[in-house]
Structure 1
Amino acid sequence: MPASRPPAWYLVSLRAQGEHAAMRRAAARHGGGLLPLSPWRLQPRHDEASRGRLEVALRAPVLVFTSPAAVRAAAALVPLAAQPGRHWLAVGAGTAAALRRAGIADARAPSRMDSEGLLALPALAAATRVGLVTAPEGRGLLAAALAARGTEVVRADVYDRVPVPLSGSAVARLAALDAPACLALSSEQALRLVLGQLPPDAARALRSATAVAASERLAAIASDLGWQRVVSAGSPRPAALAGAAASALGPG
């Protein structure tokens, strides 16, 4: 049996441990390989205090979930059930899909999948009280913008991002990478955690990759942090990030 062809290019993924599979499949559809750099692991909360805060948040007329992980962790704490007059909003299509899998058929996400897109949704623009289901430090811009509008934000942190050391073998692969590469950028916090751990040679290799940002805000951050070539995917979904990366590199 002939050996499989090596990837024509690589996508560097900064997602949590165990959360790279969808990104790997998306890159492979365009002939790319994956180089995962995980700066944290996701740890759902199971304590009674977190359950109690979630129950209070879920009584708000408008609910916002900030990630698929937030949906999974919330559903493990309290059964999620649609109710008349309640709006279930998601920061992106992946989170909306997770809500539908949890039984919320009318979950909605903005076409612009970031905090600014959420803030423009009519249900959120008119809200006086919002339940925000997230993780610590998650969606700070959204919470601040809602508070500035006079909206009461009932926050429920249902999981934690626990920082972990980067894989030594992954860092070595990055430093030695001799194929075209793109950085899939969907989290400023993840990027800063990764940069803080990389030795100089690996940091240079990462900055030499094309940064494919999930939003214009993240594109600006990448530029500020030293990336010379930055493109916007317009979405944090793996398919969008991998597709934008393949287009930017032109692998053929």
Structure 2
Amino acid sequence: MTGMANHTIPTGWTLISLRPQGQQAALRHAAAALGGRTVALSPWRLQRLHDTAAAQQLQRALTSDRVVFTSPAAVAAAASLIPLAAAQRSPWLTVGEGTARALLAHGVADVHAPQRMDSEGLLAMPVLGDVRGMQIGLVTAPGGRGLIAAELQAAGAQITRADVYRRLPLRLSRRMLARLARSPSPWLLAISSGEALQRFWQQLPAHWQQRLQANAIALVASERLGAQAQALGLTRIVRSEGPTHLQLIAAAHTALTGPAAT
């Protein structure tokens, strides 16, 4: 963040975060470093699964030829069930560097992460080049990342799924919408999850959808998310290099200092 010149950034701007409840701190601090405030409109909170069935599913998944962890939350939930470093028997893969760092922090040494941090980037990795007849473990939550399982199955793999946490839907906070209405523009909507965007958008009153279509700049973590944002009528879109808080804030810097901010 210190490498970003901020003399051309508007003196007031607002980041709209769709991160899960309680996971806003890194994004909020990064936005504050560029003079922005954050309004959190979380569509869900995350709950780890601690039951015997979840532990058994995880143990089966971790014996697969390849294992994919879809998020840092999946790593944290799995680590609360069994010691991960001792369980590794094959290459473990992640969708992005944040998830890879989480595995490394738990002592897992053999971790593969794509340069392009999305489902498409993961599927293009050489370690998944020919998966016919392979067993692929997927450590995740119900819903989300459906492209990974579908594409791997289409390529001939068998999927062993371990749902180690779940997303509990939240009602959109009217209080936070009122705070957003009072917050300075430009408004930057950080989008790193298509499912989160969909649930957020479905709960918005029509006049709020129109207000965001007219005023918000969407910061999207992938081309697929950009297309989804466009389909919702969000026309000002800036592509982030990935879903991490630093990558999203770098995209915010671009949005605030470039033509999209005008």
TM-score range, shorter chain: over 0.9
1:28 to 27, 32, 40: 32
1:237 alignment counterpart: 244
Matched, 1:197 2:196: no
Q: 1:77 to 1:85 in 2, by over 3 A?
A: closer
Contact kept in structure 2, 1:174 and 1:202, CA below 8 Å: no
2:188 alignment counterpart: 182
Distance 1:179 1:83 in 2: 49
Worse-superposed segment, 184-193 or 65-74 = 184-193
Instruction: Return the offset for 1:31.
Output: 1.9
Distance 2:157 2:192 in 1: 27
For structure 1, list consecutive stretches of 5 or more residues without a partner in the other structure.
Answer: 1-5
Distance 2:146 2:154 in 1: 12
Contact kept in structure 2, 1:11 and 1:181, CA below 8 Å: yes
Distance 1:126 1:33 in 2: 46
DSSP 3-state at the match of 1:113: coil
Counting only pairs closer than 5 Å after superposition, residues 79-94 of structure 1 correspond to structure 2 as 79-81=83-85, 86-94=90-98
Contact kept in structure 2, 1:13 and 1:184, CA below 8 Å: yes
2:225 to 218, 221, 227: 218
Distance 1:45 1:85 in 2: 23
Amino acid paired to 2:254: S
DSSP 3-state at the match of 1:81: helix
Distance 1:30 1:84 in 2: 40
Instruction: Return the offset for 1:83.
Output: 6.7
Contact kept in structure 2, 1:185 and 1:213, CA below 8 Å: yes
2:160 alignment counterpart: 154
Count of aligned residue pairs for this structure pair = 247
Distance 1:25 1:165 in 2: 25
Amino acid paired to 2:120: E
2:216 to 178, 195, 209: 209
Q: TM-score, normalised by structure 2?
A: 0.89
Distance 1:246 1:173 in 2: 23
Instruction: Return the offset for 1:22.
Output: 0.9
Distance 1:52 1:85 in 2: 16
Give identity over the alignment, percent.
52
Matched, 1:72 2:79: no
Contact kept in structure 1, 2:61 and 2:162, CA below 8 Å: yes
Q: 1:162 to 1:117 in 2, by over 3 A?
A: same
Distance 1:44 1:213 in 2: 27
Contact kept in structure 1, 2:69 and 2:95, CA below 8 Å: yes
2:22 to 18, 27, 34: 18
Contact kept in structure 1, 2:13 and 2:184, CA below 8 Å: no
Which string of whole-angstrom CA distances, capped at 9 and with x for unpartnered residues, describes residues 76-118 of structure 1? 1111025776101110000000001111123221000011110
Contact kept in structure 1, 2:64 and 2:137, CA below 8 Å: yes
DSSP 3-state at the match of 2:167: strand
DSSP 3-state at the match of 1:33: strand
What RMSD, in angstroms, separates the aligned Cα atoms of the two structures?
A: 1.8
Q: 1:77 to 1:7 in 2, by over 3 A?
A: farther
Distance 1:138 1:188 in 2: 8
Q: 1:228 to 1:84 in 2, by over 3 A?
A: closer
Amino acid paired to 1:37: L
2:54 alignment counterpart: 50
Q: TM-score, normalised by structure 1?
A: 0.93
For structure 2, list consecutive stretches of 5 or more residues without a partner in the other structure.
Answer: 1-9
Amino acid paired to 1:125: G
Amino acid paired to 1:134: T
Instruction: Return the offset for 1:176.
Output: 3.7
Instruction: Return the offset for 1:174.
Output: 2.2
Contact kept in structure 1, 2:63 and 2:89, CA below 8 Å: no
Which string of whole-angstrom CA distances, capped at 9 and with x for unpartnered residues, describes residues 199-238 of structure 1? 2333233332100100000001101110011111020001
